[in-house]
Amino acid sequence: MKANVIVHKDFALSAIDDRIYSSFLEHLGRAIYTGIYEPGHPTADADGFRGDVIDLVRAINTPYVRYPGGNFVSAYNWEDGIGPREDRPTRLDLAWKTRDNNAVGVNEFVDWCKKAGTNPMLAINLGSRGLDAARNFVEYCNHPGGSYWSDLRRKHGWADPHNVKLWCLGNEMDGPWQVGHKTADEYGRLANETAKALRLFDRSLELIVCGSSNSDMPTYPQWEATVLEHTYDSVDHISLHMYFANVEHDTLGYLAKAEKLDRYIGTIAGVIDFIKAKKRSKRNVTISFDEWNVWYHSREADKKILEGDVWPDEPHLLEDIYNFEDVLQVGGILNTFIRRADRVKIACIAQLVNVIAPIMTEKGGPAWKQTIYYPFLYASLYGRGTALNAVVDGPTYDSAFGDDIPYLDLSAVRSTAGDALTFFVVNRHLTDSLDLSASLQGFAGARVVEHIQMTHPDLRAVNTAANPDNVAPKTVSGTIVEDGTLKSKLPPLSYNVIRLA
Ligand code: AHR
């Protein structure tokens, strides 16, 4: 099998917003408790944050972390998480059937972000609460002092404002499972009035309104059109979510779902353009894809907790153990975000630690990298700069989702300084290697710096605490540039990062 690619240094799709490498931590299962926060753990610092987890998070350089939910936020009282710990209430979380003693709240989370080299992206409860709680929350976080809420923050020990820029106006408000679920008109009006109030406080905030929970929702994509009719002039981004599964054990069909993601983004870009034209607006609303990942491995196990009445603390919920096949899927998802960098300005892998996450921990024990840690790491490290318009001519296949799915899934990124070019490439073919030939136009003298590759004889292979390096990248040789053409042989079912400079 052969695939030909042409890239030109100046044929750009779009600048890539670094925020597409953001992530998400929810008060859910063991994401916070025994994930990032575990006083008494051998690596914990004076604030109780696990140092081993901070090291793994720092390494992936994720610019923003969304918090505190997710479904959790729709019945969350942010005030429960502030002030002296001994006065904080223990609450029942309706979304995840869990008890939460609120040992971590917004101030601790902001502290953790600083230690982990990232920034907070906060979600507001527009399910059980509304505009008033939202405006108080923003004032508590961002006002320097001299008002009731800002002085309360200062009294709690945080003299400087947190200056949180990104605010999500609720979570998945189209979903009947959401506490305080609303129709598009109900939500659109509430989101617009909340956005207006927050802008009266600070015009420079970036506000994210809820789009659909996924593209199979019965209200999709009318939901986006109605919500944007209400909010177009007062928000910056519309949020989308998508999770991927391979319950059928159909690898080619599974990997084709990255194309479904592409269509989802394209459809919502069209809805945005439609409302923009209707409103005769100059404003460009963009997409915040603030929940995405593979999620299916743990669904059966979770039923016991979610359907019971036990209300455990820090339960093992949504602890998907990722396999090698998921590396290929995550690589394809990230390629899609890079190719759609003109419309997607924020994306959050959901989530970051323990809960459908690239990082796993054991209580009192080690932290380790799941298989999907690696494609996220490399995209975040080398996928910054400008997405190039790579033209790909190669073989395709038909799937249940759609036809003409390319076996070669590729994105090309020119570094910000312009002197480096990186290809992220997945060969989706089950059995055949792919001879890649890429004409490098405008990259005179480019040579291969490194070819990082992930392959494994077993698609179901996973990393565990006992065997954390079972699925890991390696550097391979044989990839060359000859007469301005990159040549490489990509093994079947492989994930590749080819770095040139
Ligand atoms: O990330 C897990 C859950 O998925 C989130 O809480 C929710 O927003 C989505 O349905």
Query: Which DSSP string do the residues of 423-454 spell out, in sequence order?
Result: EEEEE--SS--EEEEEEEET-TT--EEEEEEE
For atom 1 of ligand 1, the residue with the nearest CA is 350
**Do 144 and 39 meet the contact criterion of CB atoms below 8 Å apart?**
no
pLDDT at 210: 98
Q: Which residues surround ligand 1 with Cβ inside 6 Å?
A: 26, 69-71, 171-172, 213, 291, 350-351
Residues, the chain = 501
Band of pLDDT at residue 464, cut at 50, 70 and 90: very high
Peptide bond into 441 cis (omega under 30): no
CA 72 to ligand 1: nearest atom: 6
**Do 212 and 223 meet the contact criterion of CB atoms below 8 Å apart?**
yes
Band of pLDDT at residue 441, cut at 50, 70 and 90: very high
Q: Tell me the pLDDT tens digit for each residue of 139-192.
A: 999 999 999 999 999 999 999 999 999 999 999 999 999 999 999 999 999 999
pLDDT at 308: 86
The rounded mean pLDDT for the chain is 97
For atom 8 of ligand 1, the residue with the nearest CA is 70
CA distance linking residue 346 with residue 21, whole number of Å: 7
- Domain 2-9+388-500: give its CATH code: 2.60.40.1180
pLDDT mean over 376-391: 98
Mutate to test the pocket of ligand 1, among 23, 26, 174, 320 (most ligand atoms within 8 A of CB): 26
**Residue 400: pLDDT above 90?**
no
Q: Identify which of 489, 415, 500 has the alpha carbon closest to the alpha carbon of residue 449.
A: 500
CA distance linking residue 49 with residue 21, whole number of Å: 22
pLDDT mean over 324-335: 98
pLDDT at 193: 98
Peptide bond into 358 cis (omega under 30): no
CA 172 to ligand 1: nearest atom: 8
CA 291 to ligand 1: nearest atom: 1
What is the distance in A from the centroid of ligand 1 to the CA of 245? 15
Q: Identify which of 122, 70, 128, 79 has the alpha carbon closest to the alpha carbon of residue 98.
A: 70
Band of pLDDT at residue 442, cut at 50, 70 and 90: very high
**Residue 304: pLDDT above 90?**
no
Alpha helices, DSSP H, located in 117-164: 131-142, 148-155
Q: Tell me the pLDDT tens digit for each residue of 89-101.
A: 999 999 999 999 9
Mutate to test the pocket of ligand 1, among 241, 317, 353 (most ligand atoms within 8 A of CB): 241
For atom 9 of ligand 1, the residue with the nearest CA is 70
Peptide bond into 70 cis (omega under 30): yes
What is the distance in A from the centroid of ligand 1 to the CA of 391? 35
**Residue 67: pLDDT above 90?**
yes
Set 26, 79, 259, 291: catalytic member: 291
Residue 172 is a catalytic residue:
yes
CA distance linking residue 258 with residue 270, whole number of Å: 19
At what angle are helices 251-278 and 324-339 packed, to 10 degrees? 20
Q: Identify which of 145, 45, 36, 160 has the alpha carbon closest to the alpha carbon of residue 107.
A: 160
What is the distance in A from the centroid of ligand 1 to the CA of 388? 32
What is the DSSP-derived secondary structure letter of residue 33? Answer: B
Q: In the β-sheet with 12-15, what is the strand arrangement from edge to edge?
A: 12-15, 386-388, 408-414, 421-427, 494-500, 448-454, 474-475
- What are the residue boundaries of the structural domains of the chain, listed by start? 2-9+388-500, 17-382
**What amino acid occupies position 488?**
S
Q: Tell me the pLDDT tens digit for each residue of 221-274.
A: 999 999 999 999 999 999 999 999 999 999 999 999 999 999 999 999 999 999
CA distance linking residue 425 with residue 48, whole number of Å: 40
Mutate to test the pocket of ligand 1, among 96, 125, 169, 172 (most ligand atoms within 8 A of CB): 172
Q: How many DSSP H helices and E strands does the chain contain?
A: 10, 26
What is the distance in A from the centroid of ligand 1 to the CA of 15? 29
Set 172, 206, 259, 314: catalytic member: 172
What is the distance in A from the centroid of ligand 1 to the CA of 259? 22
User: What is the C-alpha radius of gyration for the chain, rounded to an integer number of angstroms?
Assistant: 23
What is the distance in A from the centroid of ligand 1 to the CA of 355? 10
What is the DSSP-derived secondary structure letter of residue 498? Answer: E
What is the percent of the chain where pLDDT is above 70? 100
Q: Please give the structure tokens belonging to residue 306.
A: 């979610």
**Residue 402: pLDDT above 90?**
no
CA distance linking residue 440 with residue 484, whole number of Å: 6
Band of pLDDT at residue 35, cut at 50, 70 and 90: very high
**Residue 200: pLDDT above 90?**
yes
pLDDT mean over 422-438: 98
**Do 4 and 394 meet the contact criterion of CB atoms below 8 Å apart?**
yes
Mutate to test the pocket of ligand 1, among 23, 98, 124, 171 (most ligand atoms within 8 A of CB): 171
* φ, ψ of residue 227 in degrees (nearest 5): -65, -40
CA distance linking residue 358 with residue 443, whole number of Å: 34
At what angle are helices 184-201 and 131-142 packed, to 10 degrees? 30
What is the distance in A from the centroid of ligand 1 to the CA of 213? 9
Q: CB-hemisphere CA count at 13 Å for 45?
A: 14
- Beta strands 367-369 and 359-361 are antiparallel
Higher pLDDT, 32 or 308: 32
What is the distance in A from the centroid of ligand 1 to the CA of 69? 7
**Do 241 and 290 meet the contact criterion of CB atoms below 8 Å apart?**
yes
Q: Identify which of 172, 188, 4, 143 has the alpha carbon closest to the alpha carbon of residue 73.
A: 172
**Residue in the block written with tokens 């073989």:** 395
For atom 6 of ligand 1, the residue with the nearest CA is 70
CA 69 to ligand 1: nearest atom: 6
Choosing among 3.20.20.80, 1.10.286.10, 1.10.3720.10, 3.40.630.10, the CATH entry for 17-382 is: 3.20.20.80
Output the CA angle 208-175-336, nearest 5 degrees: 55
Q: Which residues pair with 99 in a beta bridge?
A: 92, 313
For atom 5 of ligand 1, the residue with the nearest CA is 70
**Residue 291: pLDDT above 90?**
yes
